[in-house]
Amino acid sequence: MQKKDLGLAILIIVVGAVVYLRNPLFLSPINLGNTANLVGLFGIFAIGQGFVIMTGGIDLSVGSVIALLGVLFVEMVGRYGVPWPAAVAITIALGAMIGLAHGILITRFKMQPFVVTLCGLLIYRGVARGYTAEATAGFPFGASYPQLEWLTIGRSYGIPHSFVAMIIIAAVMWFVLHQSVFGRHLYAVGKNDEAARFSGIRSGFVITSAYVICSVLAAVAAIYFAMFTKSVQPSSHGNFYELYAIAAAVLGGFSLRGGEGSIVGVVLGAVLLQELQNLVNLLGIPSSLNFAVMGTVILLGVLADQQLAAYRAKKRAAQAFERLQPEGAEN
């Protein structure tokens, strides 16, 4: 796991160096600040997706959740004058309820995660568009929320606060995934659900919690995106964001079969994705090729990683076989 993260970090540095040599603007404070902002925004919900992928599941509804909760947050604060701390709390609570619903449908009613969250993708997007009647939700002209803005789109020493928020969330989630009992149970359930259950781990609770974490982080991201874009266009806001999150997790070493991955990995995955976007812009590649570049890099990255893993497994098997020989002679 450690090695995987290191490899990804090296890849990020190498790509960065190449871009910098071709276009020194890459390391300019403005470019770094903007990229960090995007890394923060995308990283927050990619971490959540990581928890779901850890269980062997998937959450396709993230982008729609960001759109729906973004619309509701802007409406609450902008139109109905709900104090912003209350609006934040309500938004996060709604996120938790969405995640709980996904988790219960998947663990209690044994529905497939793909189906449940695909329906979620359609439903939340549809509700957002229906609620606004396709109109863009925005804050009233001239309105300002100094504290909220400082927290979300403010910067300290040039570092965007969205990035800081992502780092704080990542640190907390690092403890949850890598240091807590719950985290160990998550790995166990993801790797071998049956064996985990036979060891007394409540796999239904563990899986449901992962979906709650995912949707709560999507709700947090929804607030940050709403503040960043200042207005939410319900038919396009957050489109395909779930795929960015899945891509970041996969790049970061998560297996879609579950039981593998790390917080550092998914954060580095989010960094690499934004770096690639940035590369397309800075190197003058037509931005229409954006997705093609991203897809190619992910494909090659995962391919290389799996080939390496297969090679390592083969080597390990050979070593284990050698170790077995003297033991066999003993018996």
DSSP codes of every residue in 34-88: HHHHHHHHHHHHHHHHHHHHHTT---TTHHHHHHHHHHHHHIIIIIS---HHHHH
Alpha-carbon gap, residue 141 to 230, rounded angstroms: 11
329 binds other proteins (CB under 8 A): no
Applying CB under 8 A, what is the total number of residues that bind other proteins? 27
Q: Which one among 53, 201, 216, 298 touches other proteins, defined by CB under 8 A?
A: 201
Q: Which one among 114, 150, 175, 311 touches other proteins, defined by CB under 8 A?
A: 175
Beta strands 155-156 and 137-138, pairing class: unpaired
Q: Which one among 7, 33, 191, 228 touches other proteins, defined by CB under 8 A?
A: 191
Smallest gap from residue 87 Cβ to other proteins (A)? 32
Which of positions 108-167 make contact with other proteins (CB under 8 A)? none
If the CB atoms of residues 140 and 200 are measured against other proteins, the closer one turns out to be 200
Alpha-carbon gap, residue 162 to 24, rounded angstroms: 25
331 binds other proteins (CB under 8 A): yes
254 binds other proteins (CB under 8 A): no
Q: Which one among 40, 95, 183, 265 touches other proteins, defined by CB under 8 A?
A: 183
* Whether the Cβ atoms of residue 59 and residue 52 lie closer than 8 Å to each other: yes
Distances (CA, A) of 86 to 65, 91, 92, 219, 285: 19, 9, 10, 14, 44
312 binds other proteins (CB under 8 A): no
Q: Which one among 28, 112, 147, 180 touches other proteins, defined by CB under 8 A?
A: 180
Alpha-carbon gap, residue 308 to 11, rounded angstroms: 15
Q: Interface with other proteins by CB under 8 A: which range of 1-9, 102-110, 155-163, 179-187?
A: 179-187
232 — phi, psi (to 5°)? -120, 115
The binding site for other proteins (CB under 8 A) comprises 175, 179-181, 183-185, 187-188, 191-192, 194-202, 259, 316, 320, 323-324, 327, 331
